[in-house]
Amino acid sequence: MARVTVVGAGVIGLSIAHELAVAGHRVQILAAQDALSSVSGVAAAIWFPHGVAHTAPVLDSAQVTLQRFQELAGRPDTGVRMRQGTVLMRRADTDTSWTRAVPHHERLDATQLPAHLVPGTGATGVACTVPVALTDVYLPWLHAEVLALGVTMRTTEVRDLREVLAQENPDALVVAAGMRSAALLADDDETYPVRGQIVRLANPGLTEWVTDNDNPQGLTYVVPRDHDVVCGGTGEVGSWNEQVDPEVEQAILRRACALVPALAGQPVLSRAVGLRPARSSVRVGAVEGYDRPVFACYGHGGAGFTLSWGDAARIAALIGPA
DSSP lists the bridge partners of residue 125 as 88, 108
CA distance 182 to 161: 12
Task: Give the pLDDT confidence score for residue 1 in this predicted structure.
Answer: 64
Q: Which domains does the chain have, with CATH numbers?
A: 3-319 (3.30.9.10)
- Judge whether 295 and 285 are in contact, CB under 8 Å: yes
Pairing mode, strands 228-232 and 236-237: unpaired
Is residue 257 within a helix (H) or strand (E), and if so which, with residue range? helix 246-259
Q: Count H helices and E strands in the chain, helices first.
A: 7, 15
> In sequence order, what are the residues at sequence separation of 6 or more whose Cβ sits closer than 8 angstroms to the Cβ of residue 293?
1, 171, 172, 173, 286, 319
Q: Is 187 exposed, middle or buried (0-12, 13-18, 19+ CB in 10 A)?
A: exposed
Sign of CA dihedral 121, 124, 129, 134: negative
Task: Give the pLDDT confidence score for residue 120 in this predicted structure.
Answer: 66
Single out the residue of 140, 143, 138 nearest to residue 45, CA to CA: 138
pTM metric for this prediction: 0.95
**Residue 9 per-residue DSSP state:** -
CA distance 185 to 173: 12
In this structure, how many other beta carbons lie within 10 angstroms of the beta carbon of residue 297?
A: 28
- Judge whether 46 and 86 are in contact, CB under 8 Å: no
**Over its length of 322 residues, how does the chain's per-residue pLDDT go in tens digits?**
699 999 999 999 999 999 999 999 999 999 999 999 999 999 999 999 999 999 999 999 999 999 999 999 999 999 999 999 999 998 888 999 999 999 889 999 988 888 777 666 778 999 999 999 999 999 999 999 999 999 999 999 999 999 999 999 999 999 999 999 999 998 898 999 999 999 999 999 999 999 999 899 999 999 999 999 999 999 999 999 999 999 999 999 999 999 999 999 999 999 999 999 999 999 999 999 999 999 999 999 999 999 999 999 999 999 998 8
- Judge whether 190 and 204 are in contact, CB under 8 Å: no
CA distance 35 to 41: 6
Task: Give the pLDDT confidence score for residue 119 in this predicted structure.
Answer: 62
3-class DSSP string for 54-85: CCHHHHHHHHHHHHHHHHHCCCHHHCEEEEEE
Pairing mode, strands 152-155 and 26-31: parallel
CA distance 260 to 47: 20
Task: Give the pLDDT confidence score for residue 122 in this predicted structure.
Answer: 74
Tell me the residue type at 15.
S
Quick check: helix, strand or coil at residue 141?
helix
Single out the residue of 13, 234, 236, 249 nearest to residue 139, CA to CA: 13
Single out the residue of 206, 220, 244 nearest to residue 42, CA to CA: 244
- Judge whether 70 and 92 are in contact, CB under 8 Å: no
Task: Give the pLDDT confidence score for residue 87 in this predicted structure.
Answer: 95
